[in-house]
Chains A and B, each alone.
Chain A
Amino acid sequence: MLRLLVNGNRIERDDIDPDTPLLWVLRDSLNLVGTKYGCGIGACGACTVHLDGRPVRSCSITAKQADGRAVTTIEGLAEGSDLHPLQRAWIDLDVAQCGYCQAGQIMSAAALLAKNPRPSDADIAKAMAGNLCRCGTYLRIQQAIRKATSDKREDA
């Protein structure tokens, strides 16, 4: 029996092979398709989710390893209709081109800000180095992270 807390919802499933990468549990079994497949080997970051608050590549974590833990995906980042400051910044700064990598980018950035609310540019570059953007939106991603941190401060 696989037990997960996904975006705050308790999930119990007995039809999932424990070796299934978490990515495919999310996409195929739970129909949470915001988490993307790009490489399957932990090299692109498109599949980034939070496992107990830490960013992980869901393609490289098995269901068994995630068992009993809390998973947050891009679908669970906003609180209701209240978007995460990063999501707002991503919309306002028009970050996306094709947009395929952006769920993973936002999840990596969210994990960074949770740990370090005022990251330096070097911190940002380091935390985001595992996320590829084939369209090359890195500069806007940096700007959006900076914007989200300053917006957050205004809110506070």
Chain B
Amino acid sequence: MSTPTNRAKRASVPESALLLDPYLDSIIEPADHRAIEDHTPQPDRFAQLDRRGFLRASALAGGGLMVTYWMPVREARANAESDVNPSAARENSFEPNAYVRITPDGYISLFATAPEIGQGVKTSLPMILAEELDADWNRVRVEQAPIDPQVYGRQSAGGSRTLASSWTALRKAGASARALLIEAAAQRWQVPSSECTTEPCVVVHPPTGLRLDYGALTDAAARIDLAKLAEPTLKDPKDFRILGTRVTGVDNRALVTGQPLFGIDQTLPGLLHAAYVKCPARGGRVAKANLDEVRALPGVRNAFSLTGTGMPTEVMPGVAIVADSTWAVLRAREALRIEWDESSAAKDSFSKASEQARGLGPRGAETLRETGEVDATFEGAPKTVEGFYSYPFVAHAPLEPQNCTAWFKQGAIELWAPTQTPDRALPVIAKVLDIPQDRVTVHQTRAGGGFGRRLINDPMCEAALISQRVGAPIKLLWTREDDTAHDFYRVGGFHRLRGALNAEGKLVAWQDHFISFSHDGKSPVSGGNISETEFPALLVENFHLSQSLLPLATPCGPWRAPRSNAIAFVVQCFMDELACEAGRDQVEFWLELLGEPRWLESGNPYALHTGRAAAVIRLAAEKSGWGEKLAPRHGRGLAFHFSHAGHFAEVAEVHVDESKRISVTRVTVAGDIGPVINPSGAENQCEGAVIDGLSTMLGLALELEDGRISPLNFDRYRLLRMPQTPRVDVHFVKSDFAPSGVGEPALPPLAPAVCNAIFAATGERVRSLPLVGAGFRTRA
């Protein structure tokens, strides 16, 4: 057997590196001295607890204690982040990572340092800190941290990494703050600190029965010599009081009473409203526009065209309308006539690309991985299976459309925006406005969904430029149509697959020709790449993965579970084809392929673990009643996928009537994400992932013709609604592996599970999404 021919180092960070836990001792290099100095404002109040973490404690004016914790970070980070900016990799450095503020009244404020986009981190991350601090959750307030990378570190929501990357840091931070309070109490009582312990928000000394509330200790704690503090010990998980319990969202009350939490809700004195109209084909320039006419309309303050920077991630050419109210803007827009110069605009056609892709053979232009004797195995195999799979472009469609409120005055700008990457906006805005970065202030708001769209801050750049031009505070609001027409799409794609089975029905060869898109002819577009170790690469002896790239100008980007959201559909449906061809039970077929329990990439504890995979497959089978008989035209389908450090298996149960009307009646989810921080949030995320996955695979597809996307609004871009929602049962494997996020990895297995169930019910293979395009219908 030949050795794997791994392709030369690519511009993007390899998949395996992206999944590393930046905080694991075995991976992190020793601290970089220069970086430490950068972040050491007051050496006397700043103690190195161990070689990996720094603690700073300070008294607050007016009483109280502020504890800050610095952790080393490794910036070959987030998948999503690297998708957007592959060169984001930086060396190790230290970042402030956790904040605790305790006031004398005993209330504890924890700073949430990651954007809340619906994934629940504003609740789950503070839970971790509160646990180790031994706080009483009822006395905890969660505040959104300001955006200042020097003080609050990097803040981003993407790649389901927020939880994994914060786990150790937050635990140590909480434990350190607790140790400080214990030390303060021990000194006051003149007893050894080793004899003291805590109950929620109280330090106690069991031998004497002495007790002091955390609030009473803040001043003393602020004076402790941190250098004398021993490294705090972390709690034994069996002593957890908060983690693993159902904690409801910290913003719930504000949400259900309609408080102004979102970007779109921001207001300012003298606020004007704005729209920015761009060419429907990306890259078109304004040739002519009836600006004078528009300026004369009621309520309109100004209308002007901008050439922008020509970068879709910043500002593309267009026409801005600024008016007194949203309605005045919308009405003026109706009257706006723009003649576009489309000489350099996108001309993409997905239907033409599909035709081209269908004509390609089993080997692509570039081999990504080849092991064993692929061609010979196929020639000699008693059974082979072939399939051509395709999936379309889809939009992020967060329910809150893109918006940003911006106020440029006296050479500085302040912005309020629902973004997944607030601090990454700082340098970009500075560049677009040509002002120093320290003149840019960003406030992050709650975001009405993200799904990856808000990793890119183009709406902020547009708002900044418009406000600078008019010298007034403006709120830029994209319409739903703008939001769909100017997305960074989940790219469509194609796979030509072949599989070979031996006489025992075992999978012995796998060949995948992946046909994707590229902007530059060299590397795939964001979200349109595949890892050379993608399942089942490391499990099949004779394996060949190649790719061909078709040209594309339309921008693409990470969409919930980037890559995996499409790859799982293809790979897991084809696995089912093979199992059926072999005449084998799917569960048995999968388990045979997985083999002995082991990490598939040694040294990478965030890689696929075959034992964890097998466990979730077994659990999903057991809980779904796998193997039990079903009525005619009913079927069950199984799929497994590993992504974002999460192992997920799902079983879907469907009914398809004679007229090809589908109802998905039940979905069983089995996941292993390590310890579950907040079961309420985690189950909600899983249900949401199932519904998102179903919504997308049933009915969602964007057409891309002549560089234009359609449809643009929800009347024809039909998201799933309540009557089509299946029952969803969520089960987690109890595991001691490091915790990981749940928002993304629960999504990918859904589509193949449903397609495999349709085959079981009808004998019809679905190889192209969405289902409505394949002649199926959904129940009203």
Chain A contact residues, CB within 8 Å of chain B: 17, 19-21, 24, 27-29, 31-41, 43-44, 46, 73-75, 77-78, 83, 86-87, 90-92, 94, 96-103, 106, 124-126, 128-142
B209 at the interface (CB under 8 A from A): no
Using Cβ atoms and an 8 Å threshold, which residues of chain A touch B174? none
Using Cβ atoms and an 8 Å threshold, which residues of chain B touch A130? 721
Docked Cα-Cα span, A31 to B258, in Å, equals 11
B737 at the interface (CB under 8 A from A): no
**5 further A-B pairs in the complex, CB-CB below 8 A; given A103-B255, A135-B118, A141-B722:** A34-B258, A90-B255, A94-B248, A96-B118, A97-B119
Do A134 and B687 have beta carbons less than 8 Å apart? Answer: no
Please name the residue on chain B nearest to A25 by beta carbon: B327
Using Cβ atoms and an 8 Å threshold, which residues of chain B touch A125? 722-723
A30 to chain B, nearest CB (A): 12
A140 to chain B, nearest CB (A): 6
Docked Cα-Cα span, A64 to B273, in Å, equals 22
B125 at the interface (CB under 8 A from A): no
Do B261 and A36 have beta carbons less than 8 Å apart? Answer: no
Docked Cα-Cα span, A15 to B762, in Å, equals 61
A-B contact pairs, 22 of them (CB 8 A): A21-B327, A28-B273, A28-B325, A32-B258, A34-B257, A34-B258, A37-B477, A90-B256, A97-B120, A98-B117, A98-B450, A100-B262, A100-B400, A125-B722, A125-B723, A128-B722, A132-B714, A132-B719, A135-B692, A136-B689, A137-B688, A139-B691
Docked Cα-Cα span, A41 to B711, in Å, equals 14
B298 at the interface (CB under 8 A from A): yes
Please name the residue on chain A nearest to B689 by beta carbon: A136
Question: B264 contacts which of A36, A41, A77, A135 (Cβ < 8 Å)?
Answer: A36
Chain B contact residues, CB within 8 Å of chain A: 116-120, 246, 248-249, 251-253, 255-262, 264-265, 267, 273, 298, 325-328, 331, 397-401, 446-451, 477, 479-480, 680-681, 684-685, 687-692, 695, 713-715, 719-723, 725, 727-728
Docked Cα-Cα span, A86 to B255, in Å, equals 12
Do B256 and A38 have beta carbons less than 8 Å apart? Answer: no
Please name the residue on chain B nearest to A140 by beta carbon: B684
Chain A: interface secondary structure? Answer: loop
Question: B259 contacts which of A29, A34, A43, A138 (Cβ < 8 Å)?
Answer: A34
Please name the residue on chain B nearest to A74 by beta carbon: B258
Listed residue (B246, B252, B264, B687) with the most chain A CB atoms within 10 angstroms of its CB:
B252
Using Cβ atoms and an 8 Å threshold, which residues of chain A touch B719? 132, 134
Using Cβ atoms and an 8 Å threshold, which residues of chain B touch A100? 118, 262, 398-400, 448-449
**Which 10 pairs of residues, A with B, have the shortest CB-CB distance?**
A34-B258, A136-B691, A98-B118, A100-B448, A74-B258, A136-B688, A97-B118, A43-B714, A99-B255, A33-B265
Please name the residue on chain A nearest to B718 by beta carbon: A43
A36 to chain B, nearest CB (A): 7
Do A17 and B448 have beta carbons less than 8 Å apart? Answer: no
B665 to chain A, nearest CB (A): 13
Please name the residue on chain A nearest to B687 by beta carbon: A139
Using Cβ atoms and an 8 Å threshold, which residues of chain B touch A135? 118, 399, 449, 688, 692
Do B255 and A102 have beta carbons less than 8 Å apart? Answer: yes
Using Cβ atoms and an 8 Å threshold, which residues of chain B touch A35? 258
Do A126 and B723 have beta carbons less than 8 Å apart? Answer: yes
B683 to chain A, nearest CB (A): 9
Please name the residue on chain B nearest to A42 by beta carbon: B715
Do A99 and B251 have beta carbons less than 8 Å apart? Answer: yes
Please name the residue on chain A nearest to B714 by beta carbon: A43
Please name the residue on chain A nearest to B681 by beta carbon: A94
Report if A96-B722 is in contact (Cβ < 8 Å); known contacts: A24-B326, A75-B257, A78-B257. Answer: no
Using Cβ atoms and an 8 Å threshold, which residues of chain A touch B690? 136
Docked Cα-Cα span, A87 to B253, in Å, equals 8
Do A31 and B267 have beta carbons less than 8 Å apart? Answer: yes
Using Cβ atoms and an 8 Å threshold, which residues of chain B touch A32? 258
Do B258 and A73 have beta carbons less than 8 Å apart? Answer: yes
Question: A36 contacts which of B327, B400, B688 (Cβ < 8 Å)?
Answer: B400
Do B252 and A91 have beta carbons less than 8 Å apart? Answer: yes
Please name the residue on chain A nearest to B298 by beta carbon: A17
Please name the residue on chain B nearest to A87 by beta carbon: B256
Do A136 and B720 have beta carbons less than 8 Å apart? Answer: yes
Docked Cα-Cα span, A152 to B259, in Å, equals 25
Using Cβ atoms and an 8 Å threshold, which residues of chain A touch B684? 94, 97, 137, 140
Report if A46-B687 is in contact (Cβ < 8 Å); known contacts: A94-B680, A125-B723. Answer: no
Please name the residue on chain B nearest to A130 by beta carbon: B721
Using Cβ atoms and an 8 Å threshold, which residues of chain B touch A126? 723
Question: A138 contacts which of B120, B261, B681, B725 (Cβ < 8 Å)?
Answer: B725
Docked Cα-Cα span, A136 to B714, in Å, equals 15
Docked Cα-Cα span, A23 to B246, in Å, equals 36
Using Cβ atoms and an 8 Å threshold, which residues of chain A touch B691? 133, 136, 138-139
Please name the residue on chain B nearest to A21 by beta carbon: B327
Question: B327 contacts which of A28, A38, A83, A129 (Cβ < 8 Å)?
Answer: A28
Docked Cα-Cα span, A19 to B267, in Å, equals 23
A11 to chain B, nearest CB (A): 16
Report if A101-B399 is in contact (Cβ < 8 Å); known contacts: A41-B713, A136-B689. Answer: yes
Docked Cα-Cα span, A124 to B721, in Å, equals 12
Docked Cα-Cα span, A132 to B726, in Å, equals 15
Please name the residue on chain A nearest to B693 by beta carbon: A136
Report if A33-B446 is in contact (Cβ < 8 Å); known contacts: A40-B479, A128-B722. Answer: no
Using Cβ atoms and an 8 Å threshold, which residues of chain B touch A20? 325, 327
Using Cβ atoms and an 8 Å threshold, which residues of chain B touch A134? 397-399, 449, 451, 692, 719
Using Cβ atoms and an 8 Å threshold, which residues of chain A touch B448? 36, 98-101
B479 to chain A, nearest CB (A): 6
Please name the residue on chain B nearest to A84 by beta carbon: B256
Using Cβ atoms and an 8 Å threshold, which residues of chain B touch A138? 691, 720-722, 725
B257 to chain A, nearest CB (A): 6
Question: B715 contacts which of A43, A90, A103 (Cβ < 8 Å)?
Answer: A43
A145 to chain B, nearest CB (A): 10
Docked Cα-Cα span, A39 to B484, in Å, equals 11
Please name the residue on chain B nearest to A17 by beta carbon: B327
Report if A139-B256 is in contact (Cβ < 8 Å); known contacts: A28-B325, A91-B248, A97-B685. Answer: no
Docked Cα-Cα span, A103 to B727, in Å, equals 24
B603 to chain A, nearest CB (A): 35
Do B264 and A98 have beta carbons less than 8 Å apart? Answer: no
Do A136 and B695 have beta carbons less than 8 Å apart? Answer: yes
